[in-house]
Chain A
Amino acid sequence: MFAWTPERKRTLRITLVTLAVVLAFGAWFGWYKFFRVVEPPPFASADERFLYGSVGGEESAGIPYWIVYVLPRVFPDKLPGPNGWASFGFSWQEGKELPIGFTKKTIGFERVGNNCAGCHVARYRLSPDGPPTFVPTGPNHTFNLEAFFRFLVDCAQDPRFNAGTLMNEINLAADLSWIDRMIYRFVLIPFTGKQLRDRGPQFAWIYKHGLPEWPDWGRGRDDAMNLTKYFLTKLPLDDTLGPTDMPSIWNIKKYKTNPGTRLNFAGDSVDANSVIIDSALGVIGAPPSNNQTFLEQVEWLTKYLEGYPAPKFPVDPDPAKAAAGKPVFDAHCARCHASARTGTVVPVEEVGTDRERIKSWNKGAAIVANRIVKSFGIDRPGLVEDDPKGYVAAFLDGIWLRAPYLHNGSVPSLRDLLNPVAKRPRLFYRGYDVYDVVDVGFVSQEHQAERMRIPWADVKAAATPYDVSWRSNGNIGHEYGVDLSPGEKDALVEYLKTL
């Protein structure tokens, strides 16, 4: 018969204590290596915080640092260009470890996430020999977001995405401890691969190829409402496609001081705070792990963006000519762009621009999206629960840096926009960062490169082609001011430089 003799009790006690110690150590070890949050040191400036500060995306969407590090080295064939991570057109400040818009945070292990700055920092140069100037809150017209998404999924689906291959490359670059190497080999690499592969089906629409029906977004654009539809609301794929320019997000207090104004190109939202929440949720790709810290960061972002001024044109405009342009502007543009109508939706029948973007969003999706964000415990005015009917008449602050123009970026320069549709360029290249102060836009056509003595091959290598005959790329509509005399157009463009 079994009996609890003192010896047995003692043995049991020792066993239990040992087990508890082992478990406690295991738990501590697991917490330390996978969940321990190290708060990063405070940023030196508000701009630094915007550029590299976390919005909380590392926890669910963060990729282990050393995997991010070696991906372009293991899969150079899958990059959109020859230059490693720089091929995607990220803006990279001199001396910085990560491109603008990338965050690094230790949650157990170092993870790399993204933030708003990835799409919302503009860069420009005035000549190919100078270093770039970075403008926080400006549109990142060089960034190929779609290629970036595809790259991550493609790498994960490739047979080379395995612990052996990745560890070989990691070991060339880093001297990891034995434990960390084991963690990478047996946990992080397989897990990251699976996580990225699982995202594949939701990205199915960016894999639809075939012109003219399914063009690439190209540099500087994203299919924002479809991203929301397929990732936040998880609605089934439909056949819409509505890539638009990355917008500038400076000076957003204008939406507050002008009640009744709408945000997003098609006016899908009424409130800047809501747009920031929805965009940040898109970056995180999951419900926030902590609503309070999330909303605090959103609050900080809102304040930062409200006060951030639109950038000045990099060369002083000719004051006399600009003054002559003012009356032209008042006569032909102000009705929509400097009036009570500014910031409100103009029916698409009236403005006549490409319709694909408004087809990519609808009342049903807005209702579902609002419900889901509410279910996260986040209270916000939210998306307009109605089908979009047109495009917002834009505020023109800092319009010079928002090239190419129209919601889909179908017109490369302000000068081109003042031409009738038939005379606007039908094929040009987006994403090269040298700015043309004459045409007011980035160098995107051969005649500009020639005039500025830039090898055309360099422009093409850094940019993606944009053909206005491809779906959603139409450069129709907005034929205002096209009948002005050349002198008037000159003056008007000069005036627009001062905005």
Chain B
Amino acid sequence: MNRPMDRGWRWRFWTLLTIVVGVPILIGILLAVRFLPDRPVTYANIEDHFKYGSTGGERNAGFPLFLWKALPVVFADKLPQNGATGYRAFGMIYEKDEHGQDRELPVGVMRRRHVGLDRVFVNCAVCHSTTVREAPDKRQKVYVATGASHFDLGRLEKFFTDVVVDERFTASVLVPAADRESGGRLGLLDRYVIYPVAIALMRERLLMLRDRFVPLQTETWGPGRVDTWNSAKTGVNFVIGRLPEHERRGAVDFPSIWNQRKRKHRDDGQPMQLHWVGNNVEVNERNLSAAFGTGATPATVDHAAIERLQEWLLDAVPPPFPWPVDTARAARGAKVYGQHCARCHGKSGQDFSGAYVGHVTPLTEVGTDPYHYYSYTYDLAANQNVLYAGTPYRFTHFRKTDGYANMPLDGIWLRAPYLHNGSVPTLRELLEPPASRRPRFYRGYDVFDPVRVGFVSDVPEENGRTFALYDTSEPTRSNAGHLYGVDLPAADKDAIVEYLKTF
């Protein structure tokens, strides 16, 4: 037994060992290098991180990059037919890179290397970034941490849930299309294994979402709006079709999310009631709840990345009004505002003190559109208590309230259109009685009206791009209520608007 092996046997032994052990190890290493990395694209600059950085949702919901790019090409007929192409048809924003070319992905789309391919999905910025032009011939300026006033999330959701049941949603159509988008760079493994498998998995996931989302009628939301709580209900798989009629729809404007630290305190020492219905006082729960929209579930959320955003949002400030302000008139406006608005909306854009700021005003008193209020129910609040169960992040602060929360007005100029449902296009109109507010206007056009303060809302079309009609007679879109200041003299109203420009 102790006889040394001769040369031939030794050689055979090593060869065999290499084949039996070495080759599988090598293959294993190659596969691991290919499939194991979980690496988000990161940005040193916090605004870039907000626009393009990860929340972790791609791990759960991420589309393969080239498929993401191929979908609006293959299914161009399913895009909103408004004269725009690609994701621009949903009002998504493409910034220029350092070479002056459009970036590969629009604002609000994040990217991560995960399970062997680049996966992309929407992040916070898709609903919280907007553009403003000072005049039709001026350049678009991108603003972050505000409501995405032109982005049609509902139609984007409709698009994804429509294409998945189309006969073209197959590997044989989509893989070549994805390859074209990649510039022919898809490898054999991508083309014959990874992408076909990814398409199958995507179909499965999108079909599930389709079941849950179609009853929401997301296409009725319109640009700049989302049905927050019915979306949350689909997350816990409430059956929307079985809800009482008035609870089934409640689209509201995307809110601004800056200055979160200041919202942790109101005059009575308590934190402010957040969300339009004031149903939660915890900023962190608010943020994790919103992150569900980016596909970030308790199992996939990237807490480190979200905390970085959270930290920044605590003290992020709104951009100043980009036009000159008449200081004398603003000073006069400050007085009128102090008498009629400050108790509910804070002293100024920086000072949020006021007896009722961050409190909820009963619906019967404020009198604005009730649907969003109806859509948030005690039963949903109860079910939200189990979100993030088994982790230190479990939600414990959701409450049913009796109305809408009084918001601080920081950066209010950029938060047009106004009221929770975006039913009043300009600040100046909000100071008029509902009968004098525009009953029909257009949303999605980003030229700004610095006089009345709000986006220019009577332009149905520009260079072939059509905009969405907002009809205040439709459910969830009423411009009634909030009758504060409507009886003031016109000069006082003008002065208030001037003062609000300084917020």
| A77 in contact with B389 (CB, 8 Å) | no
B244 contacts chain A at the CB level, 8 A cutoff: yes
| B381 in contact with A94 (CB, 8 Å) | yes
* A180 CB → nearest B CB, Å: 10
Contact with B along A110-129 (1 / 0, CB 8 A): 00000000000000000001
A212 contacts chain B at the CB level, 8 A cutoff: no
Contact with B along A72-89 (1 / 0, CB 8 A): 111011010111111100
| A132 in contact with B378 (CB, 8 Å) | yes
| B378 in contact with A84 (CB, 8 Å) | no
| A69 in contact with B240 (CB, 8 Å) | no
* B201 CB → nearest A CB, Å: 11
Say which residue of B60, B299, B362, B382 sits within 8 Å of A86 (CB atoms).
Answer: B382
Interchain CA distance A99-B381 in the complex, whole Å: 12
**Given A173-B299, A173-B389, CB of A81 within 8 Å of CB of B382:** no
Of the stretches B10-18, B397-405, B468-476, the one at the interface is: B397-405
**Given A95-B385, A173-B297, A175-B298, CB of A76 within 8 Å of CB of B244:** no
B246 contacts chain A at the CB level, 8 A cutoff: yes
| B238 in contact with A76 (CB, 8 Å) | yes
* B248 CB → nearest A CB, Å: 10
| B237 in contact with A76 (CB, 8 Å) | yes
| B382 in contact with A172 (CB, 8 Å) | no
A183 contacts chain B at the CB level, 8 A cutoff: no
Residues of B near A131 (CB, < 8 A) are 378, 399-400
Q: How many residues of A contact B (CB 8 A)?
A: 35
| B378 in contact with A174 (CB, 8 Å) | no
Interchain CA distance A27-B459 in the complex, whole Å: 75
B380 contacts chain A at the CB level, 8 A cutoff: yes
| B382 in contact with A92 (CB, 8 Å) | yes
Q: Which residue of A lies closest to B208 (CB)?
A: A168
| B299 in contact with A87 (CB, 8 Å) | no
| A73 in contact with B244 (CB, 8 Å) | no
Q: Which residue of B lies closest to A458 (CB)?
A: B244
Query: Which residues in chain B, 385-411, are within 8 Å of chain A measured between CB atoms?
Result: 385-386, 389-391, 394, 396-400, 402
B239 contacts chain A at the CB level, 8 A cutoff: yes
Q: Which residue of A lies closest to B248 (CB)?
A: A82
| B399 in contact with A82 (CB, 8 Å) | no
Say which residue of A82, A97, A173 sits within 8 Å of B385 (CB atoms).
Answer: A97
| B237 in contact with A69 (CB, 8 Å) | no
A307 contacts chain B at the CB level, 8 A cutoff: no
Q: Which residue of A lies closest to B400 (CB)?
A: A131
Residues of A near B137 (CB, < 8 A) are none
**Given A69-B389, A92-B382, CB of A457 within 8 Å of CB of B397:** no
- Label chain B's interface by main secondary structure: loop
Query: Which residues in chain B, 351-401, are within 8 Å of chain A measured between CB atoms?
Result: 362-363, 377-383, 385-386, 389-391, 394, 396-400
A461 contacts chain B at the CB level, 8 A cutoff: yes
* A466 CB → nearest B CB, Å: 20
| B60 in contact with A97 (CB, 8 Å) | no
| B242 in contact with A81 (CB, 8 Å) | yes
**Given A92-B382, A99-B382, CB of A84 within 8 Å of CB of B299:** no
| A94 in contact with B240 (CB, 8 Å) | no
Interchain CA distance A81-B239 in the complex, whole Å: 8
Query: Which residues in chain B, 231-256, are within 8 Å of chain A measured between CB atoms?
Result: 236-246
* A164 CB → nearest B CB, Å: 12
Residues of B near A94 (CB, < 8 A) are 381-382, 385, 398-399
| A174 in contact with B379 (CB, 8 Å) | no
* B298 CB → nearest A CB, Å: 6
Residues of A near B299 (CB, < 8 A) are 171-175
| B242 in contact with A82 (CB, 8 Å) | yes
Interchain CA distance A76-B239 in the complex, whole Å: 7
| B383 in contact with A174 (CB, 8 Å) | no
Query: Which residues in chain B, 141-198, are within 8 Å of chain A measured between CB atoms?
Result: none
A40 contacts chain B at the CB level, 8 A cutoff: no
Interchain CA distance A58-B45 in the complex, whole Å: 52
A30 contacts chain B at the CB level, 8 A cutoff: no
Query: Which residues in chain B, 198-242, are within 8 Å of chain A measured between CB atoms?
Result: 236-242
Q: Which residue of A lies closest to B240 (CB)?
A: A82
| B244 in contact with A457 (CB, 8 Å) | yes
A96 contacts chain B at the CB level, 8 A cutoff: yes
**Given A76-B239, A129-B362, A131-B399, CB of A86 within 8 Å of CB of B385:** no
Interchain CA distance A94-B281 in the complex, whole Å: 13
A455 contacts chain B at the CB level, 8 A cutoff: yes
Interchain CA distance A81-B256 in the complex, whole Å: 35
**Given A83-B379, A174-B390, CB of A95 within 8 Å of CB of B237:** no
A130 contacts chain B at the CB level, 8 A cutoff: yes
**Given A94-B399, A97-B394, CB of A86 within 8 Å of CB of B379:** yes
Interchain CA distance A286-B398 in the complex, whole Å: 37
| A83 in contact with B381 (CB, 8 Å) | no
- A residues sitting closer than 8 Å to B (CB atoms) are 65, 69, 72-74, 76-77, 79, 81-87, 92, 94-99, 129-132, 171-175, 455, 457-458, 461
**Contacts A/B (CB < 8 Å), 5 sampled:** A76-B237, A83-B243, A85-B383, A95-B396, A174-B298
- B residues sitting closer than 8 Å to A (CB atoms) are 60, 236-246, 297-299, 362-363, 377-383, 385-386, 389-391, 394, 396-400, 402
Sample of 13 more A-B contacts, CB < 8 Å, known A83-B238, A98-B386, A174-B299? A69-B386, A72-B237, A73-B237, A76-B239, A82-B238, A83-B379, A86-B379, A86-B380, A96-B385, A97-B386, A129-B362, A175-B299, A458-B244
**Top 6 closest A-B pairs, CB basis?**
A92-B382, A86-B379, A83-B379, A95-B396, A82-B242, A73-B237
